[in-house]
Every structure is written in structure tokens, then in C-alpha cells.
Structure 1
Amino acid sequence: MRPFPRALITAAVLAAPLAAFAQASPVGLWKTIDDETKQEKSLVRISEAGGVVSAKIEKLLDPTKQDAVCDKCSDERKGQRIVGMTIVRNVKQNADDKALWDGGEILDPNNGKTYKVRLKPVDGGKALEVRGYIGAPLLGRTQTWQRVE
């Protein structure tokens, strides 16, 4: 084999784990699945800026709820349209466990309540465990979102 193709093969082999690691990030477009009804609910875009992760609802999958507002919210989101609303704020990668992102909050627009949140990419980054909780992570509920892109 000539040196040039061998170098390309070596570079591809070395880059493969990096691509897999990038997919194990919560950043991207996700389809939310209700943990109780198992129904698809929305498309949520998670983005990162300066090491801080946030998420906005891009689309509600129920066509009858496209103009829904957060009537039960108690902060500045009260009365705002749910589509376009930031529902995850101030989440950072955990310093001790790089597989987790936590330290922020998640809003449930159905009841207007905010909870502490923990994000954990699973299945090679194809799914995201989203755990909202009060106090300790044991006291809460988990939804599994599916990566769209």
C-alpha cells in the first residue's frame, strides 16, 4: 500500500471514536415521547453556547395545539406560546461524570412547574434520557427522547 492512502485510513480510524463521542452529546433535534402515554409530543432543539446547554420547543406534533400558551407558568414565560419557548436552561456537563449534563432546570408547560434536570445520552447518542426531579434525582420521572437528526 502507498503511504498516502495508509495515512487516510489511519486518520479515518482515529476520527471514528471522535464522531461517536460527538453523537453522545445532548445537542441536536429530539422528538419528545410522553413517559405516561408513550405518544410523540414535540420536537425540541437542544443547543450549546459557552458550555451551557438549553432547549427550545420547535414544533408541537398535535396540530390542534400549535397556538397553545403556557397559562400555568409562573415566571416570565406565563402567557407565551409554547412553540419557541425555552424549556431547558443552564445545564452543563457534569464535572465528575462526563456522560451526564445537569445543574439546570426543565419546565413542564403542561403544569407550569420547573424541575431540576439531568440529561443522559444513551444508545450511542440515538436516545436521550431526560430526568426531571425535585430534590434528589430519585424523586422524579424520566422521559426518553429520540434523536431526529
Structure 2
Amino acid sequence: MKKLKLTTLLMGVFMAGSVAAQDLSGLWQQIDDKSGSPKALIEIRKESNGTFTGKIIKVTPRPGYTPQKTCNNCPAPYTNQPILGMDILTGLKHVDGTENYEKGRVIDPLSGKVYDAKVRINGNGKRLTLRGYMGVSALGRSQTWLRQD
């Protein structure tokens, strides 16, 4: 009987560890989903309410592209805000028992559009896929971000 209890306890600990979420906090290289080139360096932090927020800390220079300095077509509170230092990803919440984060919002500072957002982080925590969409996830776009730290 003791052996059965110990086995059950160890299985529970092992299973709980296997579904523990990777922490999104850290530095991520945003990869442009159209060109495949690096776009910006994003710092994701965990807020006191348990959600995650991502801020642009560096815009990556790209050949033939003059970086936009402000979020000109963006709604309040982003209107005319500098892109460097802008929180572009907000409100992401972890989905218990998965590597998924949902119920976030992401703004594209080049177009001024705000999208619903969800994130899936891969098993080793080195790559995440951000899905931005309006209404239905199937009608959105995905970007890959690579962990830098």
C-alpha cells in the first residue's frame, strides 16, 4: 500500500512538472512574418496581476527600410507615442496546464491596428509563436519570436 501511494505521489509530481508553463519573461527577437528578417527586440515582463506585457527596446535596422519613429496612425493611448519603449503586447494570461497564453492585445505600430493576441511557447522555451487576429483566430497572422537570453 505504501509503495502504491509513493508511486502515485511521484507520478503526480512528474506530471505537474511536465505541464508547468515556460515563463515568457525575457528578451525576444521579433521576426517579420513577411520577410523573415529580424524586426525588433522585445522585452516581456510579468506584471503584478499575473499578465504579461511586451515592450520594444530596440528596433532592428533593415536594409532599404527607414524606421518609423512614432505610432502615427495609432489609437489612444498610443497616438504619436515613440515606437521605441512602447508596450506593444499587453494582457496575456497563461492557460493552466498548457504552454499557451491568451486574452492579450497586440498593436502593430506601423499600421496602427490593434489585434487580439495569443501565444504558444515551444517545449524548450526558445521560440514562441504570436498569433494576432480580429474576432476569429483563423483570420489572423502569426509571427515567430526567438528568445535572446
Q: TM-score scaled to structure 2, two decimals?
A: 0.79
| Structure (1/2) with the larger helix percentage | 1
Per-residue displacement from partner, 1:19-74 (whole Å, max 9, x unpaired)?
xx56x222210000000011101000010023111110000011853x71000101
Matching residue's letter, 1:35: D
Distance 1:131 1:27 in 2: 18
1:141 matched to 2:149: no
> Does the aligned pair in 2 maintain the 1:119–1:131 contact within 8 Å?
yes
RMSD, aligned CA: 2.2
Which ranges of structure 1 fall in alignment gaps of 5 or more residues?
Answer: 1-13
Specify the alignment match of 1:69 in structure 2.
Answer: 70
Is the Cα contact below 8 Å between 1:26 and 1:120 reproduced in 2? no
Count, aligned residues? 130
Runs of at least 5 residues in structure 2 that lack an aligned partner in the other structure: 1-12
2:46 alignment counterpart: 48
> 1:92-145: per-residue Cα shift (whole Å, max 9, x none)?
1124x5211111200001100000000111151100101001112111010001
State the secondary structure of the residue aligned to 2:124.
helix
Structure 2 residue identity aligned to 1:57: I
For 2:39 and 2:123, locate their aligned partners in 1 and report how far apart those are by CA, in whole Å. Answer: 21
Q: CA deviation at 1:90?
A: 1.1
AA paired with 2:101? W
Aligned counterparts of 2:42 and 2:130: Cα–Cα separation in 1: 12
